[in-house]
Amino acid sequence: MISFWARENTALKLSAAIAGLFALGGVGWGLWINSLVILFDGAYSLVSLVLTLLSVYAARVVRKPANQRFPFGRGAIEPLVITVKGLTITLICLLSMASAVHALLTGGRLVEPGLAMAFAGISVLACALVWGYLRWAQRHVGSGLVTAERRQWLMDTVLSLAVLLGFGLAAALERTHWGDYAAYADPAMVLLVAGYFIVVPMKMTSEAVRELVLAAPPAELQARVAEALAKADVPAEQARSTKMGPYLLLEIRLPADRMPEITRLRIRLYRLLSGLSVRPVVIIHPEARGPRWRDAEPLPTRRGAVFPDRAAGRLISPP
């Protein structure tokens, strides 16, 4: 557990430090050479820095143990932070697209291609290295916050590569009789890149909101849960699951005649789910009298998902 938090914290701090350097460099370079797309890159890095610091704080809060005020822990903070990040990046993309359209309608922007390509080349290399490190860290940590950071750096890598190729094209145009069109390269790149990027934060936000409203977990987690339930001889209609931040919550209702085996069953499920990228929390109740789950709601492990009942007690760690 300590190793998990240490790796997550290191990855987020590294991302924040490099985002800060890119923010200063991008804004300064963009203003110097009058490039809208490099200014967008710098502004995006500045926003990334603020959001990454928010992720570092969220990672620290999420790891705090459950207490009387937060009986199920603070796992919901992770998807909440990712939602804020996704909405903020979406807003940045929309504002950048509006600025690009305005520049296109007013004659474009003259930029020195050589200086712009120098910044873009350094940016591509650095962003790709950070993205590669975060990809490695995400495989070992399985943190939603690290995954969101990795997506941000992938977007920045693609942006820098697009800037490099775009200014290369602009430099080539200046040597032809179409040189007058080179002024439109800078805002055109912003429009294309921001229009492409906006899909990523929208998807990020959608996934995080699904966690906040306690929707069913992703398909791969559902498959692993179904496999574990089958091996533990627990019918699927007696179980519900949802993903909340770094936790997979699995609630099971057992018939009264199976309650003596509750401890053995919980330990077995923890072992079967131990290889997941999230930490399982298994809560088992005696089956209530009256209507069964399957009579009241759709198949819970595939469609619905609820938080465990308050009576189940506070969030517990695997044995």
Residue 240 backbone phi and psi in degrees, to 5:
-135, 150
Q: Hey, what are 74's tokens?
A: 């603070």
CB atoms within 10 A of CB 278: 20
Q: What is the pLDDT of residues 199-251, one digit of tens each?
A: 888 888 898 898 888 888 888 888 889 988 998 888 888 888 988 888 888 88
- Over residues 177-206, the mean pLDDT reads 82
Q: Is 150 exposed, middle or buried (0-12, 13-18, 19+ CB in 10 A)?
A: buried
pLDDT of residue 191: 85
Q: Which residue has the tokens 């294309």?
A: 192
Give the strands of the sheet with 279-286, arranged side by side: 239-244, 247-254, 279-286
Integer Cα distance of 251 and 284 in angstroms: 6
Asked if 236 and 226 count as a contact pair (C-beta separation under 8 A), the reply is yes
- What domains are defined for the chain? 2-212 (1.20.1510.10), 219-312 (3.30.70)
Maximal CA-CA distance, the chain: 86
Integer Cα distance of 102 and 22 in angstroms: 26
Q: What is the pLDDT of residues 68-114, one digit of tens each?
A: 887 777 878 888 888 988 898 888 888 888 888 888 888 877 777 78
Look at residue 315 and give its three-state secondary structure.
coil
What predicted TM-score, i.e. pTM, was given to this entire model? 0.64
- H or E element in which residue 266 lies: helix 262-272
